[in-house]
Amino acid sequence: MNPRYEYRALLACDIAGSAGRGEQRLQEIRRVLRSALADALGMADLDARDFAYVDTGDGCRLVAPAALPKAGLLVPLLPELGSRIREHNRHADADTRLRVRAAAHAGEIRLDPDGTVSGAPFEALARLLDSVPLRHATQAGTGGTPLAAILSHHFYEETVGHGHEGLEADAFTAADVRVKEYAARAWLWYPGSPVGPQIASGRDSGSVEQPEPRASDQFVQATGNGTVFAVHRGDQYVRHNARG
């Protein structure tokens, strides 16, 4: 069989500050993230069995089914995921609390017969996930935000830019992302983010302009876009779950 190329939405999640917690606590927070994501997918009327899921050790990568509209991945997926992480953190000790970075992108990817997926969209997604603006957004507030997401400009334009219901443009903040050779406009979403497009630019070795915080109740309607989480090197192996 020959490889095929398909346009897919991609979502990536990483647990911030996962290193140094020890194996037992790492396994616990990995379990919490997977459970929260599965619950959030269910609340969004999405079947987790339709997604290719890859465990990355301190996060995960999801490849959405080909027919899924990008906007359907973020509303209410991101708010539901953030709510579940926040609820876990209320009852968890310091070593098992979560702060999660998420990135969303979409593009034509290569699917090989052995289950490998690759292509430029994964590399772009990895850069977004590792960007300084997203890392700063995760640290917003006194104790950090439970979930901060970044959308590629392409993803933003085809979801928020098209006026899909539940995707409020004021809930997103523009950011210039520069990571290694990658440079592009992207859009941040996180509880307490500033209203409107304020530019937060900076390289990984530099600093990022800190926006004025916004009250979290103003941010409740903010939601992301269709998503798929990226792989760090452009290649990843996925397991397609059979329906039970």
Distance CA 146, CA 98 (A): 6
Q: What angle do CA 38, 13, 144 make, to 5 degrees?
A: 105
Look over the chain and give the mean of its residue pLDDT values, rounded to a whole number: 78
Please spell the DSSP secondary structure of 125-179, one letter per residue. HHHHHT-HHHHHHHT-SSS--SEEEEEEHHHHHTTGGGT-TT--GGG-EEEEEEE
pLDDT in tens, 208-233: 333 333 322 222 223 333 333 233 33
Give the predicted TM-score (pTM) of the model: 0.77
When pLDDT is cut at 50, 70 and 90, the band that residue 242 belongs to is very low
* Closest alpha carbon to 226 in 41, 55, 85: 41
What are the backbone angles phi and psi of residue 38, rounded to the nearest 5°?
-60, -40
Q: Average pLDDT in the 25-53 region?
A: 93
Q: Which amino acid is at 90?
A: R
Ordered by where they begin, the domains of the chain are 4-237 (3.30.70.1230)
pLDDT in the model for residue 239: 38
pLDDT in tens, 78-137: 889 999 999 999 999 989 999 999 999 999 999 999 888 899 999 999 999 999 999 999
Confidence grade of residue 193 (pLDDT, cut at 50, 70, 90): low
Q: What's CA 123's distance to the chain center, in Å?
A: 14
What is the phi-psi region of residue 5: left when phi exceeds 0, alpha when psi lies from -120 to 50, beta otherwise? beta
**Beta-carbon contacts of residue 155 (< 8 Å; ≥ 6 apart):** 9, 70, 104, 105, 106, 225, 226, 227
